[in-house]
Amino acid sequence: MSYRLSAVTLRADNSPQGMAAIGQLWEDVQSGKIPLLFDSQGAFQPGLSPISRYSKYENGQAGAYDLTILTVSAGFFAEMDAKAASGLYRKYEAEGDDLTSCAQAAWKQVWGDASLHRAYTEDYESTVPAEYAKDGKCHCYLYIAVK
């Protein structure tokens, strides 16, 4: 009997140790050790995209938070774009040569946006490796909940 997990959650913060734990979690998901993209028999599950959800913020961006890696279908992104268009979220985008610098560039936009009034409820991040992008570049999309 095979199974597939739909989400895994880690309590973390932005310390070097927290970032290392997040990196290890993503490595375990991408390798199939934690079967979010693969079932327990190692079969890839098509049509799913892994995303990060940040929630249960302890003290805004300065404290601990839950990082949940979950898989979503394509309709998730249309739904989030609609929420951004309605003002519930603000969307940030960045592109680059590798996923790390791409994500850092997107988060720099968030942290540098003086007009942003974050709700610290649920934020979402999707990073797209270059091999899956039409333009051959890495992409990062952030959906930040606003007040």
Within 10 Å of residue 34's Cβ, how many Cβ atoms?
Answer: 16
Per-residue pLDDT at 129 exceeds 90: no
Residue 111 burial (C-beta neighbours within 10 Å; 0-12, 13-18, 19+):
exposed
Region 105-129: mean pLDDT is 94
Chain length of the chain? 147
Cβ(100)–Cβ(77) below 8 Å: no
Per residue in 5-24, pLDDT (tens digit) is: 889 999 999 999 999 999 99
Q: Among 3-7, 71-75, 98-102, 143-147, whose mean pLDDT is lowest?
A: 3-7
Region 28-44: mean pLDDT is 81
Region 68-90: mean pLDDT is 95
Within 10 Å of residue 92's Cβ, how many Cβ atoms?
Answer: 20
Q: 35: pLDDT confidence band, cut at 50, 70 and 90?
A: confident
The more confident residue out of 72 and 48 is 72
Supply the DSSP symbol for 27: H
Per-residue pLDDT at 43 exceeds 80: no
Task: Give the C-alpha separation, 86 to 120, whole Å.
Answer: 18
Give me the chain's average pLDDT, please.
91
